[in-house]
Amino acid sequence: MKLFQQKSRIQQFDLAEDFVKEYGIGEGDFILASRTIYDKYFGPLGLNACVKYKDDYGKGEPTDSMMEALLRDFRSSGCERIAAIGGGAVIDMAKILVLDGAYSVKDIFEKKAVFKKKYPLIAVPTTCGAGSEVSNVSITEMTELNSKLGLAADELYADDAVLIPQLLSELPYSFWATSAIDAFIHAIESYVSPKANLYTEMFSIKAMEMIIHGFRSVIENGPDRRMELMEEFLTASNLAGIAFGNAGTGAVHAMSYPLSGVYHVTHGEANYQFLIAVFCAYQRFRPEGKLKRLNECLAGMLGCKAGEVYTELKNVLDKIIERKRLREYGMKREEIESFAKSVETSQQRLLNQSYVKFSWEQMAEIYSQLY
């Protein structure tokens, strides 16, 4: 039985220029990037590479049509190496470029393609949440389904994950907050996953510990304090990515996907809406076992009793950024049942990795609670 793997080499540089020099980025490289980050940190370096910007393919989270257009551009570029410089959306989009063959995005995500890796991928995260640089998961919105689908395949691992804290120096507060909370969700969900083990738990616990410590420091010292902690948050996101890349995420992610798919709520923000409610439901349905151990760990991090961890965690996160009601995004009460049923139909991969495998009725109850 496979316990753990980490296929990506992890490197860190102080400056974008150091990374470019070390890797010889230039001719023959296909770069997919966030425009603002690239123009500020890489544009002045005058790289002779094929550069495409994520915004050229569409706004918001990746869709199958955006990825299809990207595939066409890459296949006609003649490039032999891929560099993804951006948040989770950029890296997720770039991952499917590594595959051999002329398959469509739909074939790839429905696993009708033969998965054979042909091109190397360098992943450079510019947020502190996705952990996509070290995971084997790519997520896209399938427009026909009005929901997201996740694809997990070892061929999607980046060959190199490159951490450059400098690239996070102008990350707006709201993006930092939802990114860091997303990293925390990766860590906490992977900790209670049925696929977790001692190896993944070490990464999960350390990531949670670093993120909670950072949040409490920001609460105590003010929002600007986060700028001094970007390296720590980037590292914590990377650790959480390693954890969920092996153990997987669960119901929090599964239940967020219809909200993202229909109302285009960003990934981290959508996940945040469900974190506390899902884990309180776990507490009701299965309080013993792994969750009990988690609660004891969180109690130590939060400085409270084990029975108070989700109340205290909510208090901390609410001070970082306010959580909304689902109706504030435009969700309608009559969509509660259809959302829950769509999750049950399309997100079995994630539900099977959940601490409690919810029925659609149980998920509808959670949606109602948050509505």
Q: What is the pLDDT of residues 298-357, one digit of tens each?
A: 999 999 999 999 999 999 999 999 999 999 999 999 999 999 999 999 999 999 999 999
Indicate if the pLDDT at residue 241 is higher than 90: yes
CB atoms within 10 A of CB 296: 12
Answer yes or no: are the C-beta atoms of 75 and 52 closer than 8 Å.
Answer: no
The pLDDT value given to residue 148: 77
pLDDT of residue 149: 80
Q: How far apart are CA 125 and CA 141, in angstroms?
A: 21
The answer on pLDDT for 134 being more than 90 is yes
- What is the structure's pLDDT at 143? 81
Average pLDDT of the chain, as a whole number: 95
Determine what percent of the chain is predicted with pLDDT higher than 70: 99
* Tokens encoding 121: 């991928």
From CA 121, how far away is CA 109, in angstroms rounded? Answer: 19
- Band of the pLDDT at 84, cuts 50, 70, 90? very high
Strand-pair partners of 162: 11
Which percentage of the chain shows pLDDT scores above 90? 91
Q: What angle do CA 64, 270, 256 make, to 5 degrees?
A: 70
Residues 181-222 have pLDDT tens digits of: 999 999 999 999 999 999 999 999 999 999 999 999 999 999
Average pLDDT for residues 7-15, to the nearest whole number?
A: 96
- Tell me how long the chain is: 371
Cβ contacts of residue 223 below 8 Å, gap of 6+? 173
- In this predicted model, which residue has the larger pLDDT, 152 or 352? 352
Confidence at residue 348, expressed as pLDDT on a 0 to 100 scale:
94
CA distance linking residue 184 with residue 237, whole number of Å: 8
Distance CA 198, CA 15 (A): 34
Find, among 34, 129, 138, 139, the residue nearest to 83 by Cα.
Answer: 34
- Average pLDDT over every residue of 48-74: 94
Q: What is the pLDDT of residues 97-118, one digit of tens each?
A: 999 999 999 999 989 999 999 9
pLDDT of residue 141: 84
**For residue 32, what pLDDT is reported?**
98
* Kind and range of the H or E run holding 211: helix 198-221
Do 108 and 68 touch, CB atoms closer than 8 A? no
Alpha helix locations (H) across the chain?
16-23, 35-37, 64-75, 88-95, 105-109, 173-192, 198-221, 230-247, 251-263, 267-285, 290-302, 309-320, 335-346, 348-351, 360-370
Mean pLDDT of 27-42: 96
In one-letter notation, the amino acid at residue 337 is: E
Q: Over range 87-97, report the average pLDDT.
A: 95
Q: Record the pTM.
A: 0.93
Contact 158/123 with Cβ under 8 angstroms?
yes
Give the strand pairing for 50-53 and 81-86.
Answer: unpaired
Instruction: Work out the pLDDT band at 179, boundaries 50, 70, 90.
Output: very high
User: For residues 367 and 326, is the Cβ–Cβ distance under 8 A?
Assistant: yes
